[in-house]
């Protein structure tokens, strides 16, 4: 079997932030002087988010701020599905970058990375098939 990948050890001070989307919540720790290492739940970021779309979503605030590859990020994400988790991570990274440097707020705001997307699944109501779908009406 292939050799086990050793997890990256993060050292030094960090900036913490929380990002949320649907049922997903991400705790982000941003280490300013780094080499671009991103770990999600103890695994490399490319392993946890295997598709290119999800990886691009997570890197969006780093690219917008121009710090991609210069910061280390440790993330713990829980709840929701992969897409919701990726968007929660994106929100958390944007908040952490803003806490580190207030000058990048216009850039992040223009990309809509600081706004928390609050849309959630609506609950099912009694007597209905789904949240709003009613049973088929029958005259007799």
Alpha-carbon distance 39 to 100, whole Å?
A: 19
* pTM assigned to the model: 0.87
Biggest CA–CA distance in the chain, Å, is 73
Whole-number percent of the chain with pLDDT over 90: 85
Q: How confident is the model at residue 3 (pLDDT cuts 50, 70, 90)?
A: very low
Residue position matching structure tokens 């897409």: 83
b/e 82-104 (16+ beta carbons within 10 angstroms → b): ebbbbbbbbbbbbbbbbebeeeb
More confident residue, 18 or 68: 18
The least confident of 2-11, 19-28, 124-133 is: 2-11
Instruction: Quote the distance between the C-alpha of residue 47 and its chain's center.
Output: 15
* pLDDT on residue 6: 56
> What does the mean pLDDT of the chain come to?
91
CATH number of 15-110: 3.30.230.10
Alpha-carbon distance 58 to 56, whole Å?
A: 5
Q: How confident is the model at residue 34 (pLDDT cuts 50, 70, 90)?
A: confident
Q: Where along the chain do its domains lie?
A: 15-110
**Is the pLDDT score of 4 beyond 60?**
no
Instruction: Quote the distance between the C-alpha of residue 19 and its chain's center.
Output: 6
* pLDDT on residue 1: 41
């Amino acid at each position: 079997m292939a050799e086990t990948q050793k997890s990256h050890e993060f050292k030094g001070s960090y900036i913490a932030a929380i990002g949320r989307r649907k049922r997903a919540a991400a705790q982000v720790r941003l280490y300013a002087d780094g080499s671009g290492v991103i770990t999600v739940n103890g695994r490399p970021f490319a392993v946890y988010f295997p598709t290119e779309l999800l990886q691009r979503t997570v890197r969006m605030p780093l690219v917008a701020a121009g710090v991609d590859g210069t910061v280390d990020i440790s993330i713990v994400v829980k709840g929701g599905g992969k897409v919701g988790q990726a968007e929660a991570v994106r929100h958390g990274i944007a908040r952490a970058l803003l806490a580190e440097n207030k000058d990048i707020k216009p850039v992040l705001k223009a990309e809509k990375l600081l706004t928390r997307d609050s849309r959630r699944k609506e609950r099912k109501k009694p007597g209905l098939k789904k949240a709003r779908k009613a049973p088929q009406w029958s005259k007799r």
